[in-house]
């Protein structure tokens, strides 16, 4: 069948009703692509001035070290070139009324307010990296040599990783698995991205020494265990089981104090840089957005799935679907899957 | 809009081309539902005599303890009642030729061979629980008191969990994270389902004592960490960090020998039942099926994704999509997501 015939067929079948997608990260972009590729119309709004979300902040993906920025750029381009997708940047949802199949939404755009009729809404608002300001014992905010994983990504992207015979300490679970100062849940991806960061450091600077303090090494699923093994065995990253108690500024160095929970002794590592793997938390303003949409959030502020296992993209309200890490910490592949599932649900309401 | 109008609209839009779905577990059922609900036609084949796959073997879901069999039955019923889905049990794929948009597939059904034209193929062949026969040191196969997690599920479903003041030992990572006798990867869900089993035991028999031997506790994502904490704190399940070295038959008891890697001492627990959390491995015959379809598998025999992160449901061949745990160990929610994504891809080829 020729390309022309396809186009004609598709034109005849174009679905009249539109889907509003809130959030231009990989889950929202995937949902928009799948809707448009199936003859639907998507209105994708993003509160920032650019698409790509948290994915666009990465240098490499994991456990396969692929060019993250290149992949995101390719997916954005695909979405921009598909006929059925309108993209509005710096745009937020102001109000929402109506019901599944027939919502009225009011948007605040840079050029003023705009009202739209949509059949379905996909919430793909992503996640936020916790600012570990509560962890004063780690000297975050006091010392410029204590950074978050997100800041480490930026340093890598800008060629600012420390050079020469330096020691870098990576600290897992900052804000995760911590009822007292953070969140009770595990953020799922920190173990893997810390291993990625240690590998990136060693690739950029083979003279560097890398230490990772962990509670449990959580490398779930195919490729992750192997990835962390590679960090240990090929790149000689030293893994120490223990929670870091304190990071002390000492001249131009940092002292990292912890208890090694395998050998039961206190350990101290002198470091030139400390990288805190801060928790994935709900997107900022998630409870306000939930209020506008009339959907439920959980105890943390993530959007609540109607049924954790087999309705992972249904919100508590008919016609409003959830995709990606705005429901819980999630790998990229799972977020893409949820984007596709949400698209298939939204398309049903667009007929 | 009335129900009648919907029906008429949908009828006019029915897509002529069919999708073949291989595997009737939750991923395949989801793909079939989403295709049919969007006006497509799905031919769902299942090699066993019933739908539901591994999900249908469970008593409860996790981390939310919901009625697994009830959920699966509901999803099967939805699929059976949708107009666009034909289900063939005890049916396998014999051959496949053609290309995306126009495959010819030959099926072996209980009533003979059947040839079909399909636009797309979704492989949702699920996973297989490894038979831990290689682990002779755990007395599996020798002692009836050493069972796999799957057998424990059956015992629970049939009301055969041990009664009275018994001790039950759960062993993580049997066949996972073990280059020597099993697979290098982590099977992702064993930590959580072992916690579920320990909770099920304590609920059925509060007098029982439960011990879990673990390497790392891997409870990733929202609800999982909390779930395992609940096992520890509310149900007093005792977690011991260490790999089990040997299970010895001793009269009518079992002796479980391990090294506690936190305190460095050998430990021995007398047990009435030992439950081995055996690895999730590729579905049986995956390499043969891949050969028939002309798609790639990975080093383990799982079907290989075209791109691990943003093309998780694309196989190495255009028009053949992958969904669920036949690509890697995966939670139910992720398998459902992939089923929806695969449906949205297959629908594009059905227009």
Complex-level ipTM: 0.91
Query: Under an 8 A CB cutoff, do B185 and A221 touch?
Result: yes
What's the pLDDT at B10? 42
Q: Model confidence at A14, in pLDDT bands (50, 70, 90)?
A: low
Q: Is pLDDT of A287 > 50?
A: yes
Q: How far is A57 from chain B (nearest CA, A)?
A: 15
3-32 of B, contacting A, C-beta below 8 A:
6, 9-10, 13, 26, 30
Residue of chain A minimizing CA distance to B68: A309
Query: Under an 8 A CB cutoff, do A185 and B38 touch?
Result: no
Q: How far is A30 from chain B (nearest CA, A)?
A: 9
How far lies A303's CA from each of A100, A125, A328, in Å? 18, 9, 8
Distance CA B17, CA B38 (A): 12
pLDDT in tens, B109-158: 999 999 999 999 999 999 999 999 999 999 999 999 999 999 999 999 99
Query: Under an 8 A CB cutoff, do A345 and B348 touch?
Result: no
| Structural domain containing residue B158 | 130-280
Domain stop point among A279, A309, A329:
A279
Domain stop point among B280, B304, B319:
B280
Domain stop point among B253, B280, B307:
B280
**Same domain for A310 and A266:** no
Q: Is pLDDT of A220 > 80?
A: no
Is any Cβ of chain B less than 8 angstroms from the Cβ of A2? no
What's the pLDDT at A234? 95
Taking a C-beta distance cutoff of 8 angstroms, is the pair B161, B201 a contact? yes
Q: How far is B122 from chain A (nearest CA, A)?
A: 14
Is any Cβ of chain A less than 8 angstroms from the Cβ of B346? no
**Same domain for A180 and A42:** no
Residue B209, domain CATH: 3.50.50.60
**Same domain for B122 and B151:** no
| E strand or H helix that includes residue B223 | none
Tally the domains of chain B.
2
Identify any residues that bridge with A121 across adjacent strands, giving them in sequence order: A20, A320
Give the closest of B61, B75, B310 to A336, CB-based.
B310
Distance CA B330, CA B322 (A): 13
**pLDDT by 10-residue block (mean), chain B, 351 residues:** 35 73 98 97 98 94 90 98 96 98 98 98 97 94 95 94 97 91 89 93 96 87 85 94 93 93 86 96 97 97 94 97 96 96 97 85
Residues in B closer than 8 angstroms to A327, CB to CB, are: 222
Q: Is pLDDT of A217 > 90?
A: no
Give the closest of B222, B311, B347 to A185, CB-based.
B222
**Same domain for B13 and B119:** yes
**Same domain for B273 and B152:** yes
For residue A303, give the nearest of A22, A8, A20 by alpha carbon.
A22
Residue of chain A minimizing CA distance to B30: A310
What's the pLDDT at B163? 96
Q: How far is A190 from chain B (nearest CA, A)?
A: 10
**Same domain for A275 and A139:** yes
Query: Under an 8 A CB cutoff, do A337 and B340 touch?
Result: yes
For chains A and B, CB pairs below 8 A equal: 207
pLDDT (mean) for A236-241: 94
**Same domain for B122 and B150:** no
Burial of B311: CB neighbours in 10 Å, binned 0-12, 13-18, 19+:
middle
Give the closest of B30, B216, B328 to A222, CB-based.
B328
Rg over alpha carbons for chain A, rounded to the nearest Å, is 22
Q: Model confidence at A130, in pLDDT bands (50, 70, 90)?
A: very high
Residue of chain A minimizing CA distance to B341: A340
What's the pLDDT at B11? 40
**Same domain for B335 and B234:** no
Q: How far is A274 from chain B (nearest CA, A)?
A: 24
Mean pLDDT score of chain A: 92
What's the pLDDT at A2? 35
pLDDT (mean) for A13-25: 87
Is any Cβ of chain B less than 8 angstroms from the Cβ of A175? no
**Same domain for A312 and A263:** no
Residues in A closer than 8 angstroms to B229, CB to CB, are: 184
Scored b (16 or more CB within 10 A) or e, A76-101 reads bebbeeeebbebbeebbbeebeeeeb
pLDDT (mean) for A208-229: 87
Query: Under an 8 A CB cutoff, do A229 and B63 touch?
Result: no
Query: Under an 8 A CB cutoff, do A337 and B332 touch?
Result: no
What's the pLDDT at B2? 35
Q: How far is A154 from chain B (nearest CA, A)?
A: 21
pLDDT (mean) for A134-162: 95
Taking a C-beta distance cutoff of 8 angstroms, is the pair B329, B278 a contact? no
Residue of chain B minimizing CA distance to A7: B351
**Same domain for A269 and A139:** yes
**Same domain for A138 and A112:** no
**Same domain for B141 and B233:** yes
| E strand or H helix that includes residue B350 | none
Give Cα B120 distance to the centre of its chain: 23
Is any Cβ of chain B less than 8 angstroms from the Cβ of A328? yes
pLDDT (mean) for A65-84: 95
Taking a C-beta distance cutoff of 8 angstroms, is the pair A286, A326 a contact? yes
Distance CA A104, CA B92 (A): 48
pLDDT in tens, A37-71: 999 999 999 999 999 999 999 999 988 889 999 99
Burial of B213: CB neighbours in 10 Å, binned 0-12, 13-18, 19+:
buried
pLDDT in tens, A288-323: 999 999 999 999 999 999 998 999 999 999 999 999
Q: How far is B237 from chain A (nearest CA, A)?
A: 18
């Amino acid at each position: 069948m020729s390309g022309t015939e396809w186009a004609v067929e598709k034109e005849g079948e174009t679905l009249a009703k539109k889907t509003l997608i809130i959030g231009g990260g990989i889950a929202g972009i995937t949902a928009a692509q799948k809707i448009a590729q199936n003859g639907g119309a998507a209105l994708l709004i993003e509160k920032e001035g650019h698409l790509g979300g948290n994915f666009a902040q990465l240098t490499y993906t994991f456990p396969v070290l692929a060019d993250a920025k290149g992949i995101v750029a390719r997916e954005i381009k695909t979405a921009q070139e598909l006929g059925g997708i309108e993209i509005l940047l710096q745009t937020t949802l102001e109000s929402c009324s109506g019901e599944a199949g027939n919502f009225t939404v009011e948007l605040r755009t840079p050029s003023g307010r705009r009202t739209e009729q949509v059949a379905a809404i996909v919430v793909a608002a992503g996640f936020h990296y916790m600012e570990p300001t509560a962890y004063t014992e780690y000297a975050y905010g006091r010392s410029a040599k204590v950074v978050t994983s997100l800041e480490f990504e930026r340093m890598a992207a800008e060629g600012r990783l420390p050079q020469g015979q330096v020691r870098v300490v990576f600290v897992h679970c900052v804000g995760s698995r911590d009822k007292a100062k953070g969140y009770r849940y595990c953020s799922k991806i920190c173990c893997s991205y810390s291993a990625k960061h240690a590998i990136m450091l060693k690739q950029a600077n083979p003279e560097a020494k890398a230490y990772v303090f962990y509670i449990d090494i959580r490398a779930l699923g195919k490729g992750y265990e192997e990835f962390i093994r590679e960090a240990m065995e090929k790149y000689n990253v030293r893994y120490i089981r223990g929670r870091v108690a304190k990071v002390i500024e000492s001249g131009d160095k940092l002292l990292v104090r912890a208890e090694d929970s395998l050998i039961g002794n206190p350990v101290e590592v002198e470091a030139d840089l400390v990288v805190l793997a801060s928790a994935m938390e709900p997107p900022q303003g998630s409870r306000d957005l939930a209020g506008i949409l009339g959907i439920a959030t959980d105890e943390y502020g993530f959007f609540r799935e109607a049924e954790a296992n087999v309705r992972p993209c249904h919100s508590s309200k008919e016609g409003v679907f959830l995709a990606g890490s705005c429901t819980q910490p999630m790998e990229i592949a799972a977020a893409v899957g949820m984007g596709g599932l949400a698209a298939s649900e939204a398309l049903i309401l667009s007929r």
